[in-house]
Structure 1
Amino acid sequence: MTRDKRSGLRGLYAITDAQLSPKHHLLQHVEQALLGGAAIIQYRDKTDSASRRLADVTALRRLCSVHAARLIINDDIELAKRVGADGVHLGAEDNAPAYARTILGEDAIIGVSCYNRIDLAHRAAASGADYIAFGRFFPSRVKPNAVQAHPELLTIAKNKFKLPLVAIGGITPENGAPLIRAGADMLAVIHGVFGQTDIQAACRRLTRLFEPQEKSR
């Protein structure tokens, strides 16, 4: 991955959810998120048919291109390659970043969930990850049983790794700023975006959290 691509990994990272955004609402919901300032969209759907997922991602690829946003596919390396997505997000139990790199190429964005574990982050970084994600940081409606991480983990990781960091889990406009101050480059949000009545307004509030940090540089 080029340095320019990696340095652009900052801002609101909106993750789709099949229950919050049913098929006939998906594109409309994602467009509202993009209009609200989402910099990255992750398509996450582990239950639908392969043909439906291909159709979804093909349409999302076009939409993200219009808005100059990145499209990341959750777990499915082959789907990401087929549609020319910007990259893939892997869990600790998924295919290693090094394998994903051989399939997707050097310019792909490869992210890895590291939960609350620095050892997993070390492994991901050594395997060629482009960003690492920690969380959940707050109670989550989508993953209520996920392990909890603490904000100081972001500070520790920031000092250890020269990689962008993602914070995820129960993030809202009210609690997101401390995570950015602790070291998060991106805030990954599911329910706080797609579970809101006004998705665009919700994204604007979350995106605004990054403004003071940008101005202070």
Structure 2
Amino acid sequence: MNGLHGLYAITPDGLHGRELLERAEAALKGGARVLQYRDKSDDQARRLTDARALARLCARHQALFIINDDVELCRASGAGGVHLGEDDTALDMARARLGAGTIIGISCYNDLARARRAAAAGADYLAFGAVFPSSTKPGARQAGLELLRQARRELALPLVAIGGITPENAPSVIETGVDMVAMIQGLFGQPDITAAARAVNQQFQAFRGSP
């Protein structure tokens, strides 16, 4: 699927306004193909302002913009898609609300049966993790490298690996055959975000050739 390969950047908590845009642009300049806006706060007005600004930024960089969890924010901001976890809007309800042209990704954690159901229900991509221990979600279920390999053997949809991935350990994840690696602190916690993003995309190219 067009655009669903390479680095999948997810914004960290606590970034807003100009700082959020500057750091997001640094990731996009490094070659991030997907940017997900993840903000769990209740400030709806600020979230909409930030999401619309990020949507414009992604459009300039020809990257896919995804909203975490919030179907209505996806609609209002002009995002290209939404990412849903097990406690969020059901996939069929999100599809009915957003339409066939919107990308819908599903968190599958370490559950291949959930992934199979999501694929059958019309998901556009499937995410597995945490691959490694993660500071963002320290209690997350673990989905190791062998599970990623098994998912690649069984599932035709684009696959995303998430959880504790850094430029240093990304090669071992990329070797499993996943289409994307999602990074939060492993990317935005780096002193040079653009260089970190570029390094991960170079690792993808080294294993698979240029997209």
So what's the TM-score if we normalise by structure 1? 0.93
**Which 5+ residue runs of structure 2 have no aligned equivalent?**
none
Q: Does 1:18 align with 2:33?
A: no
In 2, Cα distance between equivalents of 1:77 and 1:49: 16
Structure 2 counterpart of 1:209: 203
Partner deviation per Cα, 1:159-192 (whole Å, 9 max, x = no partner): 2221000000111122111211212100000001
Structure 2 counterpart of 1:3: none
Q: Does 1:155 align with 2:146?
A: no
Structure 1 counterpart of 2:110: 116
For residue 92 of structure 1, report the CA deviation from its aligned partner: 1.4
Moved over 3 A (4+): none
Q: Does 1:145 align with 2:139?
A: yes
For residue 7 of structure 1, report the CA deviation from its aligned partner: 4.0
Instruction: Give the letter for the 2:136 counterpart.
Output: V
Q: Does 1:177 align with 2:202?
A: no
Partner deviation per Cα, 1:21-55 (whole Å, 9 max, x = no partner): 34441000001010011100000001140000000
Instruction: Kindly indicate whether the alpha-carbon contact (under 8 Å) linking 2:134 and 2:163 is maintained by their aligned counterparts in 1.
Output: yes
185-194 or 117-126, larger mean C-alpha shift: 117-126
For residue 18 of structure 1, report the CA deviation from its aligned partner: 2.2
In 1, Cα distance between equivalents of 2:167 and 2:12: 19
In 1, Cα distance between equivalents of 2:57 and 2:2: 22
Query: How many residues are aligned here?
Result: 211
Structure 1 counterpart of 2:98: 104
**Which 5+ residue runs of structure 1 have no aligned equivalent?**
1-5
Q: RMSD of aligned C-alpha atoms?
A: 1.4
Q: Does 1:75 align with 2:69?
A: yes
Instruction: Give the letter for the 1:82 counterpart.
Output: A
Instruction: Kindly indicate whether the alpha-carbon contact (under 8 Å) linking 1:166 and 1:186 is maintained by their aligned counterparts in 2.
Output: yes
For residue 214 of structure 1, report the CA deviation from its aligned partner: 3.1
SS of the aligned residue for 1:153 comes to helix
So what's the TM-score if we normalise by structure 2? 0.95
Identity of aligned residues (%): 54
Instruction: Kindly indicate whether the alpha-carbon contact (under 8 Å) linking 2:3 and 2:63 is maintained by their aligned counterparts in 1.
Output: no
Instruction: Give the letter for the 1:70 counterpart.
Output: L
SS of the aligned residue for 2:130 comes to coil
Task: Mark the CA change 1:205 to 1:48 in structure 2 (over 3 Å): closer, same or farther.
Answer: farther
The within-5 A match list for 1:7-46 is 7-19=2-14, 21-46=15-40
SS of the aligned residue for 2:109 comes to coil
SS of the aligned residue for 2:110 comes to coil
Partner deviation per Cα, 1:55-104 (whole Å, 9 max, x = no partner): 00110011000000000000000110112211000001211221111111
